Structure 1
Amino acid sequence: MAPIAFIIGTVWPEPRSSAAGQHLLSLLSELKQLGYIIHFASTAQRSENSEGLDELGCVVHEIVLNDSSFDQLIAQLQPEIAVFDRFMIEEQFSWRIKKVAPNTCLILDTEDFHSLRYLRHQIVKKHPEQAVDIPSLLEINAGPGPFQGCLNSDFAVREIASMWRCDINLIISQAEVALLHTYYGLPKNILHYCPFLMANDGAELGTPRAIDKRKDFVFIGNYRHAPNWDAVQILAKHLWPLIRKQLPQAKCRIYGAYTPEKAQQFHNPKQGLLISGWAKDAQATIQEARVHLVPLRFGAGLKGKIFDSLRVGTPCVGSDIAWEGISTDVTAHSLLTLNDYENFAEQAVALYADEDKWLTEQVKGQQILENDFVYTTHSAALKNKIQTVTQDLNTHRAPLFMQKMLEQTQYRATRFMSQWIEAKQTIEQLRDADLPPETD
């Protein structure tokens, strides 16, 4: 009988709304190719943008927190692997799986390094003049000042502990692999570099649209993701006025899923700034534009919007955070000072107006994909990692003393808290059942 892969999602995947949704579906596809029967579960409500997983051949389960019915489901299925979509899901469910299916290989799909993104956000809010790339963060963390020891936050402790408890951690950025190994000391055998699993061959993507078939600027990003909302504000308040001054006929179209009402304050057709709502096809939308603006001031992981641009041949002007983990062979900007905004705008105008420069950047983007993000290479590496670990899980776990120690401490604390909540809910249900019916 085929082995079972049990995936627990933070939400039901929305591949048309976020890169995280695309990445999770790509992972499901890889597991199906390995011969797994896919079971997908989530505690979240499905939205109108959720992918129809049952239509893709997955068995779906709606589960609840702090309920032993989950234990019964896992005990019955005995999955060979369990995949947690972000570390918060691992905290809630891994102890239950370990209890009833101890030989299940636990895989954490990190999506990105959440505590790193949160830390950068805090620094941007409190010290907007402070650079927040990884090298500068290591200096800030070690030196005197308000952010000394910032990489050791309670949030980071939770996330790193979650990674230790898992047998494989899928890390989407090489920059984060390096940080996790060199600073946090996670062993390389539980870290697996797994970028976006996208086919980049010309047969699928076709010939990129020529520059004379494109117009205007574009930004695209899910508004529920804090870095994107911040980028929209930076673009509207600081960058677009500088760009529009030099290109008075140009427009910038800002797209995003879950556009909030507050975003409409920036809709200004007279100045060429258009809040355009949700894009049904992100790649097609980006391909219509001449230049993609990606002014992210904080974030983590890889940026799906950058990859979409590279795949459809739309040159980007992005921040250093936007390009992190993708390429160092680009002109990136920290977006900390007025001078940075002016440099960003100058680069955007030059790229828009200079066809030779535009073509050079388009070719450079294709080379990045062809050199560093070959689908077949990363697909084979992922499959080999999963097969190697699952074939001899005990040998893989034997030297991981920290894994066992964390199961005894914080891991058990999470377990007992969950059991206490479940018991409390049961008592309340029994009490309510004993109450006499209400009368008028």
Structure 2
Amino acid sequence: MNQLKKLLIIGFVWPEPNSSAAGGRMMQLISIFAANGFEITFASAALDSDFMVNLSEFGVAKKSIELNSASFDDFIIELNPNVVLFDRFMIEEQFGWRVAENCPNAIRILDTEDLHCLRTARQKAFKENRDFEIVDLFSEEVAKREIASILRCDLSLIISEFEMNILQDAFRINKVLLFYLPFLVDKMSENDLLKLPSFEDRKNFVFIGNFLHEPNWNTVQYLKEAIWPSIKEEFPEAVLEVYGAYPSQKVLQLHQPKNGFFIMGRAEDANEVVKKARVVLAPIRFGAGLKGKLLEAMQCGTPSITTSIGSEAMHANLSWSGFIEDDVLEFAKKAIVLYQDENLWKQTQKNGVAIINECYQKDKYSNELAALVNSLLMDSKSHRLHNFMGNLLQFHAYKSTMYMSKWIEAKNKI
């Protein structure tokens, strides 16, 4: 299709690619649609932040919008987009009915980021000191909301194959409503590793992650209280540098230089931080989706040690770029071995290259998504006709959401 197409992205927040993997993924989506001839507008009700990307540099128009306001109706009618992309299910709940009412022919796409219901259920199971089971999802209120949102949309972007399986097997969602879209990066060769800092030129362990994300805060607590003491006992000169955007006071209080545990705060350039480190430590105990920090480590040629949750759906059947270990003592032992054994370190570094090339092929997934969106643009009526449950939920749920929003809007005028 050569004619100008318009994409409206409604963001939960303004993109901060240097603060979180979610921000990086959003910029990847913008890149895909821009490369396929879309004129893009990014709208959000969030406040501006000091670290948000300058969207105009990417040819994207920026628009501030209001929650529970008819002003959005006027805005979207004038814009008249062909495609609307909702950033997380909460945004679809808030604005989906307005899009459907004012631009009924626009293709509605949901970027789930990760399954919030999976993350919530796992966190609850962790706090209750029990194993997570798939059946836990069915009792989560957020699952009912999230699945309803997926069904109402023409297409949902799913970042993890594990989550694709949950949606199809546990929730019985038709595969035509789902598209598997992992993080997308350029291919690497083993020669690219030679351009990165060598084993000898690197030092220290590192963890990096946005502290607004609860699994990251929990991981740092776990490192400080359980894993780091075991590492320091066997390897007294070890140093761990913890980087992350938006550290709270409780994070900063973990700073303990005498014990080699440094809270560094926001990284000006996450890539440079990870490239200079010798090993990434990421003992993640709950969460969902793919872990951007671990893919970034592979790109930087930095082996990592993580858990089965951390590595979930990230490496197909390939050997990990480091170690996957859930036991505290074994995690600590393998961290030391990986840090000190140059031959092992170099082999696991190469494993990361193989994973990148097998699992995160930028061109493959970008082209498939573009073709699918164009197909939906040409025949959305047939696609929607076969999504009866989505139509049913749109008819009932949008009514309740619509009247609640209109009530709030009226109340705000008083």
Q: TM-score range by the shorter chain?
A: over 0.9
Q: Identify the residue that residue 370 of structure 1 maps to in structure 2.
A: 357
User: Which shows bigger deviation, 311-320 or 382-391?
Assistant: 382-391
User: Which shows bigger deviation, 325-334 or 16-25?
Assistant: 325-334
Q: What's the CA shift string for 1:40-62, capped at 9, x where partnerless?
A: 10000011000011232111110
Q: Identify the residue that residue 100 of structure 2 maps to in structure 1.
A: 98
Match of 2:204 among 209, 216, 220: 216
Match of 2:77 among 66, 72, 75: 75
Give distance in 2, aligned partners of 1:237 and 1:60. 44
Q: Identify the residue that residue 388 of structure 1 maps to in structure 2.
A: 375
**TM, length-normalised to structure 2:** 0.96
Q: Which runs of 5+ in 1 are unaligned?
A: 142-148, 335-339, 429-440
Question: How many residues are treated as equivalent by the alignment?
Answer: 407
Indicate conservation of the 8 Å contact 2:193/2:301, yes or no.
Answer: no
What are the within-5 Å matches in structure 2 for residues 243-258 of structure 1? 243-258=231-246
Q: Identify the residue that residue 50 of structure 1 maps to in structure 2.
A: 52
Question: How far has the Cα of 1:204 moved from its partner?
Answer: 8.3
Q: Secondary structure at the match of 2:253?
A: helix
Indicate conservation of the 8 Å contact 2:188/2:356, yes or no.
Answer: no
Q: Secondary structure at the match of 1:214?
A: coil
Question: How far has the Cα of 1:260 moved from its partner?
Answer: 1.2
Q: Identify the residue that residue 434 of structure 1 maps to in structure 2.
A: none
Give distance in 2, aligned partners of 1:81 and 1:205. 40
Q: Identify the residue that residue 247 of structure 2 maps to in structure 1.
A: 259
- Shift >6 Å, 4+ stretches: 203-206
Q: What's the CA shift string for 1:238-282, capped at 9, x where partnerless?
A: 111111111111200000001112122221111111011111111
Question: How far has the Cα of 1:206 moved from its partner?
Answer: 7.0
Question: How far has the Cα of 1:18 moved from its partner?
Answer: 0.2
Give distance in 2, aligned partners of 1:155 and 1:72. 30
Q: What's the CA shift string for 1:227-246, capped at 9, x where partnerless?
A: 00000100011111111111
Give distance in 2, aligned partners of 1:107 and 1:382. 11
Match of 1:178 among 137, 148, 165: 165
Question: How far has the Cα of 1:420 moved from its partner?
Answer: 1.1
Indicate conservation of the 8 Å contact 2:87/2:111, yes or no.
Answer: yes
Match of 1:419 among 400, 406, 412: 406
Question: How far has the Cα of 1:387 moved from its partner?
Answer: 1.1
Question: How far has the Cα of 1:288 moved from its partner?
Answer: 0.6
What is the letter of the counterpart of residue 310 of structure 2?
A: A
User: Which shows bigger deviation, 325-334 or 57-66?
Assistant: 325-334
Q: Which runs of 5+ in 2 are unaligned?
A: none
Question: How far has the Cα of 1:27 moved from its partner?
Answer: 0.3
Q: Which has the larger radius of gyration?
A: 1
**1:333 correspondence with 2:335:** no
Give distance in 2, aligned partners of 1:311 and 1:20. 17
Question: How far has the Cα of 1:377 moved from its partner?
Answer: 1.0
Match of 2:122 among 107, 114, 120: 120
Q: What's the CA shift string for 1:51-109, capped at 9, x where partnerless?
A: 01123211111000011110111111111000000000000001001101100000001
Give distance in 2, aligned partners of 1:270 and 1:59. 49
Q: What's the CA shift string for 1:323-354, capped at 9, x where partnerless?
A: 111025334233xxxxx110111111111111
What are the within-5 Å matches in structure 2 for residues 274-423 of structure 1? 274-327=262-315, 329-330=319-320, 331-334=323-326, 340-423=327-410
User: Which shows bigger deviation, 407-416 or 41-50?
Assistant: 407-416
Give distance in 2, aligned partners of 1:232 and 1:123. 19
Question: How far has the Cα of 1:205 moved from its partner?
Answer: 8.0
Question: How far has the Cα of 1:131 moved from its partner?
Answer: 3.6
Q: What's the CA shift string for 1:21-54, capped at 9, x where partnerless?
A: 0000110111111111101100000110000112
Q: Secondary structure at the match of 1:12?
A: coil
Q: What's the CA shift string for 1:134-172, capped at 9, x where partnerless?
A: xxx23xx2xxxxxxx543421100000000000010000
Give distance in 2, aligned partners of 1:206 and 1:100. 54
Give distance in 2, aligned partners of 1:119 and 1:85. 21
Q: Secondary structure at the match of 1:409?
A: helix
RMSD: 1.4
Match of 1:237 among 225, 232, 238: 225
Give distance in 1, aligned partners of 2:138 and 2:240. 37
What is the letter of the counterpart of residue 187 of structure 2?
A: N
Q: Identify the residue that residue 68 of structure 2 maps to in structure 1.
A: 66
**1:39 correspondence with 2:27:** no
Question: How far has the Cα of 1:365 moved from its partner?
Answer: 1.0
Indicate conservation of the 8 Å contact 1:200/1:311, yes or no.
Answer: no
Give distance in 1, aligned partners of 2:253 and 2:407. 46
What is the letter of the counterpart of residue 195 of structure 2?
A: T
Q: Secondary structure at the match of 1:213?
A: coil
